[in-house]
Structure 1
Amino acid sequence: MHTPPHLPSKHELSPSLLRAHSLALSRGLRDTVEMQSASARFLSELARQATVPEARKLLLELARIEQLLSLEIDVKVAQLVEAPLPARASPGAANIKTAPEWAHLELITYEQAIAVTLDCTRRSILFLTDMANRFDGPTLDFFLMLAQSDEDRAAMLERALNRRLAELTIGHDIRRVLVEIHDAARRAAKAYAWIGRRTMRPRAQEFLQGMQEVCALHAANIQSMLGNMDHLSDDPVFEGLAAATLPTLDGDVEGLDFQAALRIAMHAQQRTALVHGMYARAFRGEEAQQLLDIADAERRQAATIASVLERLEPSDQDMEEQYPQARSPRESWTCPAIVDESEALDEPKTPVLRLVAG
């Protein structure tokens, strides 16, 4: 029978290891406080931006729950440690339970709001479980309690999401969703082309042209899967899909540099992967796998872009070493949204830049 390794308590540690243990505990608690308060702020900001009343109501309620939990954490932390916590959290701690790529969108549907919150909650569970494995006694109980709270919330969100998707997709087959994905990819290609024509930075232009080609190829692949595409009228069920797929930009388009271009593409791919993976839950077998394969390709594309960004920007080495499984984009930024107001995809109007207050 396998005997689990003995984890020494803090009373068995040498003075030097005890100091290291105390520092690790203070850092873990500080990061947990930051993660939770950032989650409450993120959901509140997302709710203020949301234009869909049902989504706004849900996000406000979830933000209220996160705020109450944040207050409870503050009380528990004060009971666990007497010394003040570090003044600053680890780099990236605020992004463990947030999704910066969604922070600027107005058109967030009810099901997308659930899916985004569920994704954030799952990352929080990974972080808290990792923290629980590092300590014992009351600290272990503290992190396990928080992880269980998030587990319960994740289960509730999953049930709500499954019910919602079942309602939305009644009468729709996978073909309907693929047609919408095809149209969204074509619109994204046009948006990348529009941005690329207006930026003055050659390297950004080259990358954006590449993203335009990626989206066009993606649309062509979807069309080859569908064969002859019957004309289908717009369905409000899928109104948020195109908005999530479109790239967005921050500030002056003429001055858009290479790193900003990488970031807008990464965020667009992350949003798109989550939405397509979300719709896969509404189907079974090969139909679900089709959407999962599409989402996986987009997720890998986002990861490739992120790896380039990491080579160009200072890395959060401490965050990588402590919480590798909980990493997420480091920056939350407010962007103007590109809105395609054209009804005809072949002759679109110039996309409108609308500033979204964050």
Structure 2
Amino acid sequence: MMIYLDNSATTKPYNDVVETFQKVTTQYFANPSSIHTLGGDVEALLTKSKEQVASLLQVKPHEVVYTSGGTESNNLAIKGVAYYYQQRGRHIITTSIEHPSVLETCRYLEQEGFDVTYLPVDSRGKISLHDLHGALRDDTILVSIMHVNNETGSIQPIEAVANMLADYPKVVFHVDHVQGFGKISLPYNHNHLDLITISGHKIHGLKGSGCLIKKEHVGLTPLQHGGAQERNVRPGTENVANAVALSKAMRLAKQSEHRYHELESLRRTLISELSEYKHVHINSPDDGAYHIVNLSVKHFKPEVLIHALSEEGIIVSTKSACSSKENDVSHVLVACGLDDNQAGTAIRISMSIDQTEQEIRSCLNAFHHVIEKYEKIMG
């Protein structure tokens, strides 16, 4: 029996979500833009799903833009703002520990003539509000900061940033909320939380589903051009089945959000017992998100450790799944001040809200078998 502890990479879809997708894709297959009865029924279903998401987040239905997931939402938010407001300014602020879908987008925009400031973080992976304030300029048009880091679980002070940016009405604030949604809530209706990225497959929804919350006062240049779907922001025939399944996954995630604190004791157990090994270093901050534990086993190649744990029935991963097959060290851990050895030997344990104490105990037993053998060899 496998114990899955790679939930920050992706989660297992809930049966209710899969059933919803199957029902909609087979029974509501018409194009929602068609003017016949079947098209009207599908359009009504799509509208209802937006109303459900809007109700969950206390935003307006037309502020919900369905996308294919976190990467597209982040690209649409960052490039969309950059191109729409480039006459106002060409300066963007982000952090040094963002997901590749943010960092690579910013690097692309640098090639397009935009100026990007990458804020440093402290050893806990947190930015300084003082640094952010000092980085703001007259030509700053966008601040993009992730809520919960996907590798270490560090949590950024998003509400405090939004409050600060209230004094800078020309600056748009985007939040990558992919690892936070359904776990650590945000004040979604905050006037200065302008753009919010959410991904379906991180909350027991389906891959290829996600949304961007775009407040009505924010302008975006679309990434594609075509029809007038999604209020001209994201053209193309809507994936209604994915949209409805996403709204179901989001509702289930919000309903179970109160259980998230149950993971605190499991995380504490993991950190306490793994810290006893002399070659193990815990990289996640004490005040990090409960579902993520990042650690390094010194001089132990992470892929070897992952395969050894796999043979014991435990599934964990290295850094971000989007870049885990690359052999370079974690840019997140380097930014937090770790040396190349620690940053290059890190693995991530990431739990779901349904994780049990028995599963965590089995995980620790597997670590014990693997690391005990290793420490005997290392001496």
TM-score by length of 1: 0.30
TM-score by length of 2: 0.29
Q: Which has the higher contact order (CA 8 A, sep 6+)?
A: 2
Q: Which has the higher strand share?
A: 2
